[in-house]
Structure 1
């Protein structure tokens, strides 16, 4: 998600990182139907756990909406899924549609069309991910996504409400997480691993993210 958006909206200060998997957000009704499981099996993907599928080193993780503001594990339609905050919001807004050509490590190529969350919703999802696991890669992605929001007009990236103060729901949770990141950036050891300058990420958050309540 973040990698495709960074490619679609290039900025000179983006920090490029590699990833070995792809997340696909699906509605609870779709998860319960088992349709995606059947389609992935027909395409040659083998289930390695309830929501993870692999094929020749490629991995797809299916993610469903969480009921609250934290990550969890939920069984739907007899299979276990990772439930993530922000996914419900991502499924509710108009996506960004992209035509993608991917060069794999074995030199073969894949071409497909996909739907991406807007840059704003990607920020919400990545803020929730960082709040859950404190991973350096999420800081890298947040830096890149905020660079996009800083350099492109809101109409070009699917809209941007995150500058409004005191938002509610998943957006409000993201505002609180992002300002906590900014408040502690200079003493956060993950910044070096993320290859992000703390003062730059702090400035982006202060400029593009409204102040939360509380």
Structure 2
């Protein structure tokens, strides 16, 4: 999601990084219907734990995770007899008009892979990443968060940006995302955030959050 957004909103300070799997966000009805599950099986994917699917063998393994919106505080949800990881903020992403991308990927082994994929915009992606960091905080998450902030700062004039408006962070996912982001600011001010990634040091990250995200009510 973040890496694809860099092609839509180029930014020199955004951090490019690789990933070995793919996450697909789907709504609860799609998950419960099992049609996608059977289509993956028909394409030689194997269902492993929960909603994790693999295809191929070691060295050429392809992996995909199917994710559903979090409706309660539980991190997993059972739908159609299968267990799915429930992601905070995904419901907001699925309710918004996506950015539809046509992608041409040049493979290292030669040839091209062409596909279309819908992704959320920068604001929704930032909310999702901030909420995800409440339960995990790997260097890659911090890199993605900083990349999204830098892209928002550079391209904000062309975005439908709501997070900097007090009325927008009074409730719902934007309130939760704003709270999570300002919690990160508090951690920076306590010196609890490592200097990662180097392109966006913690003080700049905190300044970008303060500039572009309103403080929600407590």
- TM-score normalized by structure 1? 0.90
Q: CA deviation at 1:107?
A: 4.2
1:98 maps to which residue? 101
Gaps of 5+ in 2: none
2:148 aligns with: 145
User: Larger C-alpha radius of gyration, 1 or 2?
Assistant: 2
The equivalent position to 1:63 in structure 2, one of 67, 81, 91, is 67
Q: Which runs of 5+ in 1 are unaligned?
A: none
Q: 1:115 maps to what in 2?
A: 118
Residue correspondences, number: 210
For the 8 Å contact 2:99–2:119, the answer to whether it is kept is yes
Instruction: With the length of structure 2 as denominator, give the TM-score of the two structures.
Output: 0.89
In the superposition, relative to structure 1, how do residues 191 and 42 fare at CA in structure 2: closer, same or farther (>3 Å)? farther
| 1:213 matches 2:213 | no
How far apart are the structure 2 equivalents of 1:96 and 1:141? 18
- 1:58 shift after superposition: 2.3
**CA distance in 2: counterparts of 1:14 and 1:76, whole angstroms:** 37
Name the structure 2 match of 1:13.
Answer: 13
Secondary structure, aligned partner of 2:77: strand
Contact 1:71–1:82 (Cα < 8 Å) also in 2:
no
Is 1:175 equivalent to 2:178 in the alignment? yes
Q: For residue 133 of structure 1, what is the aligned residue in structure 2?
A: 136
RMSD of aligned residue pairs (Cα, Å): 1.8
- Indicate if the aligned counterparts of 1:185 and 1:198 stay in contact, CA closer than 8 A: yes
Deviation of the 1:204 alpha carbon: 1.1
> Which residue in 2 is equivalent to 1:198?
202
Measure, in 2, the Cα distance between the counterparts of 1:46 and 1:65.
23
